[in-house]
Amino acid sequence: MKILVVCGGDSKEKDVSINTGKAVFEALKANFDNIECLICKDKKSCILSILNSKPDKVFLALHGGWGENGEIQAALDLLNIDYTGSGFEASCLAMNKFATKSILSNIKIPTAKACLIKDVSDVENVDFYPVCIKPNSEGSSVGVEFADTKEEAKQKIQLLLKDYKELIAEERLDGKELTVTVFNDTVFPIIEIKPKKGFYDYKNKYTKGATEYIVPAQIDKSVEMLCKSVAFKAYKSIGCRGCARVDMILKNNIPYVLEINTIPGMTGTSLAPKSANAAGIEFQELTKMMIEG
Ligand SMILES: Nc1ncnc2c1ncn2[C@@H]1O[C@H](COP(=O)(O)OP(=O)(O)O)[C@@H](O)[C@H]1O
Ligand SMILES: [Mg+2]
């Protein structure tokens, strides 16, 4: 079986994707003989290189943009090329935080109050402060801002709308930040995320030692069961497959889902592998499981 690890791309998360790709490529070598790694630049050359390589399975290690929003998944479906993780519909829904939240609310999964912002005048619909303002379809905490007042929100929205067509303004939740990794029918141990300074922004995500990770999270058994069940329902509700990570904030023992990541980071120190590790699954084994579906 020929495996092609695909990473890179042109999103703001391309460097993270290359790290994921390289780590996965190295790990897969332990279990498979025929592996190649493709660091691609844009969607057209990416598809052409995949076709050229004729893989039996593509390991998608792309983060953000067309690599995670369903576009490449749909293209691979059309070309009848097998790939890891969620299909195009789940990928598309997960990449749209507002769409994800609408589906979750519909099945009574807790999620913070939010408004979709396409124009600065939409700030008038926001009646909950403090507020978190973030791009509707981004990752790695890129573009996440907070505002205490309408005036401050307006300024931040104005700036963010220069880079993004859609934002969401979401009630700021102050609580324990948790992430739950789901792999098909299994929910791995919960990770509690404790940045040493500030919130879990890009720097705190990718700087070694900047954030403390507690696994399994120190929460009551009943709350743990609730968080796991909420994460699993969220994963199923949008139709995820393979490995996905559900980010949430626990406030007053209620797990509010922030978003679902259909291609979670997969470097040796990323969250999904950390969580699998706590379940006794080594990184090499996890990447093998992802190939096997
Ligand atoms: N409503 C919120 N209240 C408090 N913090 C938030 C809220 N939304 C996001 N954050 C913070 O921003 C980080 C990134 O937000 P998230 O929705 O997970 O987007 P992404 O990880 O795709 O950038 C979270 O991990 C959390 O630290
Ligand atoms: Mg997140």
Q: Hey, where are the domains in the chain?
A: 2-84, 94-109+174-292, 114-171
Judge contact between 238 and 103, C-beta under 8 A: yes
In this prediction, residues 153-159 reach a mean pLDDT of 98
In this prediction, residues 174-189 reach a mean pLDDT of 98
Q: Which residues contact residue 188 at a Cβ distance below 8 angstroms, ignoring those fewer than 6 apart?
A: 180, 181, 182, 272, 275, 276, 278, 279, 281
Whether the bond into 130 is cis, omega within 30 of 0 = yes
In this prediction, residues 98-106 reach a mean pLDDT of 98
Ligand positioned closest to the Cα atom of 167: 1
Counting residues of the chain whose pLDDT is more than 90, the rounded percentage is 99
- What whole-number distance in Å separates Cα of residue 107 and Cα of residue 200? 28
- What whole-number distance in Å separates Cα of residue 88 and Cα of residue 143? 25
Pick the CATH number of 2-84 from 3.40.50.11540, 3.40.50.20, 3.30.930.10, 3.40.50.300: 3.40.50.20
Which CATH topology does 94-109+174-292 take? D-amino Acid Aminotransferase; Chain A, domain 1 (3.30.470)
Judge contact between 157 and 133, C-beta under 8 A: yes
> Measuring from each residue's beta carbon to the nearest atom of ligand 1, which residues come in under 6 Å?
112, 132, 134, 138-141, 144, 170-173, 177, 199-200, 247, 249, 258-259
> 181 - beta bridge partners?
245
In this prediction, residues 130-137 reach a mean pLDDT of 98
**Digit-coded pLDDT (tens) for 68-83:** 999 999 999 999 999 9
In this prediction, residues 220-229 reach a mean pLDDT of 98
Q: Is the pLDDT of residue 157 over 90?
A: yes
Average pLDDT, the chain: 97
CA 142 to centroid of ligand 1, rounded, Å? 10
Pick the CATH number of 114-171 from 1.10.10.10, 3.30.470.10, 3.40.30.10, 3.30.1490.20: 3.30.1490.20
Q: Identify the residue whose C-alpha is closest to ligand 1 atom 17.
A: 258
What's the pTM? 0.97
pLDDT value of residue 131: 98
Q: Is the pLDDT of residue 293 over 90?
A: no
Bridge-based pairing of strands 34-40 and 2-8 is parallel
